[in-house]
Amino acid sequence: MLKKTFFISKKLLYLHYNNENTAVMNKNDKDLIWSTESLVMFGMWLVNKGERGYGLLCIHGSCFGIKIGSLLKLTWNDFINDDGSLHVDLADNFPSRDELILHNEKKEDSRTIKLSYFIQRYTREVYINIFDYHSRDVDAPIYINVKTGKVLTTSSLNRELNKLYEQFRLEVLSSTYLELKFRELKTNTFEIAWGRDMVNKYNCTKKVFIAISKYMGHRTVNDTIKLLELEPNEEIKFSFDLFDPDPKTEIEMLSILMDKEKLSRYLFRKDVANTTEEFWKHRHY
């Protein structure tokens, strides 16, 4: 079950880009550009509040970077492989699709997006929790207004998202006494968050700007630069956080080291050790 919890991490409150190539444009106290992580957290908050349509839109949109028109056409069937044959007791075993296939009717081609484990797991969990055994509808649209039952449209999306963001901002303020500084949400906010995170991931090189521009369907790279408010560069920087696990991951790693069966499964799964005759003799999983 989705836990009805509300958690604000320090990362959310300070999610801005300290990249030297970022244009100095966010002088307004409430003009911080959204990132994928901040949108995902906002989306999870929305889902926990019962606004699953808007919530999943924020999560999916910021993780895929596709245009809002293509995003709003998605159905549960694009993520969940449910043929209706599974019994309710087996609902937890619904297979999730590991790829999202977007069809372009005009160009008569398609684009494939690899779905992260998080997207597969979270989307599937929402699906399981909103449909009972008798009402499962894998062909139903995902992004709906749960109060009206209507599919979300671009005509009112900005207004409704910003109303919800205001509620989020006030709840954060009341619980942390901290004022969120994110700018107003627009239909292209998700694309911008994805694009900025992606070019930053590859150090804002010209090559990644070219690739991102093509992916986002822009006429020129300059259009991409203007939208993302970032400039490309040729500089390479080293990262010294190649391994920086959260506390939970650290505990899990320690538990693996102290349990020979877990350690055996881990080494075998990661393919970092050669098997022996004794290994196969004692293998029981």
Mean per-residue pLDDT, 179-202: 95
Confidence band of 108 (pLDDT split at 50, 70, 90): low
Mean per-residue pLDDT, 193-212: 95
Q: What is the pLDDT of residue 40?
A: 96
* Residue range(s) in the chain whose domain bears CATH number 1.10.443: 10-202
Q: How far apart are CA 59 and CA 44, in angstroms?
A: 8
Q: What is the pLDDT of residues 113-167, one digit of tens each?
A: 999 999 999 999 999 888 766 677 888 999 999 999 999 999 999 999 999 999 9
Residue of 171, 213, 155 lying closest to 46 (CA atoms): 171
**Which region among 55-64, 85-94, 165-174 has the lowest average model confidence (pLDDT)?**
85-94
| Four-point Cα dihedral 172, 146, 115, 137, nearest 10 | 160
Q: What is the pLDDT of residue 15?
A: 46
Q: Which CATH number fits domain 10-202: 1.10.443, 1.10.10, 1.10.3470, 1.10.3420?
A: 1.10.443
- Identify the bridge partners of residue 112 per DSSP, sorted by sequence position: 101
Q: What is the pLDDT of residue 22?
A: 42
pTM of this prediction? 0.75
Mean per-residue pLDDT, 215-244: 90
Residue of 42, 49, 32 lying closest to 9 (CA atoms): 42
Confidence band of 271 (pLDDT split at 50, 70, 90): confident
Contact 204, 233 (CB under 8 A): yes
Residue of 78, 82, 86, 81 lying closest to 60 (CA atoms): 78
Q: How far apart are CA 13 and CA 180, in angstroms?
A: 7
159-165-154 Cα angle (round to 5): 30
DSSP class of residue 28 equals S
Q: What is the pLDDT of residue 284?
A: 63
Q: Which of 79-83, 210-214, 237-241 has the highest mean pLDDT?
A: 210-214
The chain-wide mean pLDDT, for the chain, equals: 84
SS (H, E, C) 179-243: CCCECCCCCCHHHHHHHHHHHHHCCCEHHHHHHHHHHCCCCCHHHHHHHHCECCECCCCCCCCCC
Q: How far apart are CA 217 and CA 211, in angstroms?
A: 10
